[in-house]
Amino acid sequence: MNFDKANAALDSVYAAETPEALAKAYADWAATYDSETASLGYLLPFLITAWVARHVPAGEGPLLDAGCGTGLSGPSLKALGYGDIAGLDLSDDMLKLAGSRGAYNVLKKAMLGGPLPWPDRHFRAFFSTGVFTIGHAPASGLHELVRITRTGGHAIFTVRDQVFESGGFKSVFDELERVGRWRLVEQSPWFRCYAIGDPEALVKTFVFEVV
């Protein structure tokens, strides 16, 4: 049953203790990721488009899907008129699937938390879902994402409840605000990231303007 397989795969990626282990877990999951996360009612790759559309007019410059996975967000944004989208992910297998969707201009393999292969202030906005969660990208990765986002651009991303304070996100938020790199524009209430499975898994969407 997809529901049980999806839960087992989620356990595997949450348990990964190194970037290499995480990449392997996603490589193993890539072929069935879409159908199994759909069985859980995974909302985030589609729901994030609402915040992007609210804050970023189409045609204003490139967007970055940071941790794009199999590229579920790309076609939704393309349908909304966003034609200039780049993606990054740590998994070659996931990137191959993302590329097959025909929604991304550029796809690059990179690890959030390390240096990213774009110049300063390159993107109009970045968005990211399901990446700042248990055992995944560190809060420190936000510094590089802000570096490659232009002044007046937007940072739009979800954070899982279980890592918001323990993972250092609150302190990184405060630090970036204190040094004048961004300001909070919007935050959602905590909400379920799976409409069907795992009702205890909550996330919040944050929107910052880069300054």
Q: Say what the pLDDT of residue 54 is.
A: 97
Give the number of C-alpha atoms closer than 13 A to the C-alpha of residue 66, restricted to the C-beta side: 31
DSSP string, 79-145: HTT---EEEEES-HHHHHHHHTTT--SEEEE--BTB--SS-TT-EEEEEEEEEESTTSS-TTHHHHH
Q: Say what the pLDDT of residue 128 is.
A: 97
Q: What is the domain partition of the chain in residue ranges?
A: 41-210
The encoded tokens of residue 135 equal 């055992």
Give the integer Cα–Cα distance in Å for 111 and 211.
24
Q: Say what the pLDDT of residue 208 is.
A: 98
Give the integer Cα–Cα distance in Å for 87 and 182.
22
The encoded tokens of residue 171 equal 């302190």
CATH hierarchy code of domain 41-210: 3.40.50.150
Q: Say what the pLDDT of residue 31 is.
A: 65
Q: Say what the pLDDT of residue 167 is.
A: 94
φ, ψ of residue 98 to 5 degrees: the values are -60, -40
Q: Say what the pLDDT of residue 1 is.
A: 46
Q: Say what the pLDDT of residue 40 is.
A: 85
From 72, 127, 94, 107, select the one nearest 13 (Cα to Cα).
94
Q: Say what the pLDDT of residue 185 is.
A: 98
Ranges of residues in the chain whose predicted pLDDT is under 50: 1
Q: Say what the pLDDT of residue 18 is.
A: 72
Q: Say what the pLDDT of residue 136 is.
A: 78
